[in-house]
Amino acid sequence: MARRKPGHPWAALKGDDPALHELAGYLRGLVDHAAMTMARLAAELGCSSATVSKRLNGALLPDREFVIDLARACVPDPRIRDRRVAEATTRWEQARRDEGRRIRRRDDHLADPRTLIMNSQTAAVDAQQRLIKAHDELSELYGQLLASVRAEQQTTKLIWALKWTLARVVDSVTQLSAQRDNALAQAKATEAERDAVGRKLAAAIQAQERTEDQLDRATIEHQRAQELVATAEAEIKSLRGMLRSEEMVFDVTGAVGDEVLDGINADLDWTNELLDEQAAELARLATQIQHRTPDPDAVLRWRQTERIVDTLERVNSLRDSAGRQLCLELLSAHLGYPLPIQEFPSPRMHLFGIVLQLQRKPDEFRLFVDVVSGMEPGSLAVRALRDLLDTEPFSSCGDLVVL
């Protein structure tokens, strides 16, 4: 009976009480109308299928609460639910009154031994049936327990599979996070390299501009030197014309001796040497500009030159054009030959021209510092200039090209 499906016939009613049969038939009709299985009905009522089958077999009077709960479970429509509950309750009360009369009649026959024996046999049969039903119910519960155990095992396997999948997902997330961090680090490194290249490019552009300025200045000095050569050659031609003149032989020989001619030749040799150095310097500058060859030491030499010029600007006697010209004349007198240094309108540019020209020959530069010291002995600016030369070893700026 526990396995009965909707639409299948019910088992025969037990017992001989018409009221119980009527109640059981009415309740079975509610179950059939609702098309409910015994398992679903037992779940709705909170008991086992065997218990439901036992209470609907017509042999025993079920509890009032069971009858009411079954009627409510089988009639979901609230409009007719109360009527069905009232009808089921009426049939239950009628069965209860009939059972009371039957119990009284049974009590009246207790004095008859045959009746007692029959009642005992009937009770024994009922007890045996109840035992069989209890055994069936126990078997059913045992089957449900086995099904629950199998479901628990399957659930355990599923949990382990999900844990394994979760571990793989966690590993994948960890790997992706590491890849993302590496990509971010590489992006930052690339950005830093790009910034460094940008700074180098800016420095190279600035160095190129400085080199072009130096080339322009060297070109100007080269032109000036060519003018000096032309002037010297004109003077030489003039002197030769004077020497060839018969009227001036005595005067020229007396005025222009061998020492003077040797001095002029020495000056011309020095001028030619200076022109050769400048031509070589111009060629080297043009080569460096063409090939863009980096020179890391040139930056340091240029900064040293800037510091020297900054210090010379603090010397009072070199702030005006007359003082700088006097210093150069004193230096030329010590050297014994003039210095071809172009004068610029700006005092700082003039000082740069002096320093760059003198740095080609360290001896001339040291003598220039001595001349400045003689013009302003004990000056703080001159002392700072000597300290600068002592702390930073002198380096020639003849090849000062920054690219």
Q: 74: pLDDT confidence band, cut at 50, 70 and 90?
A: very high
- Whole-number pLDDT of residue 399: 43
For the purposes of burial, counting CB atoms within 10 Å of the CB of 195, is it exposed (0-12), middle (13-18) or buried (19 or more)? exposed
| Cα distance between residue 178 and residue 197, in whole Å | 28
Using only C-alpha atoms, the chain has a radius of gyration, in whole angstroms, of 64
Q: 85: pLDDT confidence band, cut at 50, 70 and 90?
A: very high
Q: What is the pLDDT of residues 7-19, one digit of tens each?
A: 677 888 888 888 8
- Whole-number pLDDT of residue 246: 45
Residues 42-61, mean pLDDT to the nearest whole number:
88
- Whole-number pLDDT of residue 231: 76
Q: Which has more pLDDT, 253 or 243?
A: 243
Query: What mean pLDDT, rounded, does the chain reach?
Result: 79
| Cα distance between residue 294 and residue 208, in whole Å | 10
| Cα distance between residue 138 and residue 125, in whole Å | 20
CB–CB of 59/123 below 8 Å? no
Residues 245-266, mean pLDDT to the nearest whole number:
55
Q: What is the pLDDT of residues 302-331, one digit of tens each?
A: 888 888 999 899 999 888 889 889 998 998
Identity of residue 327: C
| Residue indicated by tokens 């700072």 | 384
- Going by C-beta distance under 8 Å and a sequence separation of 6 or more, which residues neighbour residue 38? 1, 2, 3, 4, 49, 52, 53
Q: 296: pLDDT confidence band, cut at 50, 70 and 90?
A: low
- Whole-number pLDDT of residue 254: 46
Backbone angle region of 282, left / alpha / beta, with phi > 0 → left and psi within -120 to 50 → alpha: alpha
Domain 18-108: give its CATH architecture.
Answer: Orthogonal Bundle (1.10)
| The token pair that represents 151 in the structure block | 């479901």
| Cα distance between residue 328 and residue 332, in whole Å | 6
**Four-residue CA torsion sign, 34, 37, 43, 49:** positive
- Whole-number pLDDT of residue 9: 78
Residues 100-115, mean pLDDT to the nearest whole number:
62
Q: 3: pLDDT confidence band, cut at 50, 70 and 90?
A: low
CB–CB of 211/287 below 8 Å? no
pTM confidence score: 0.30
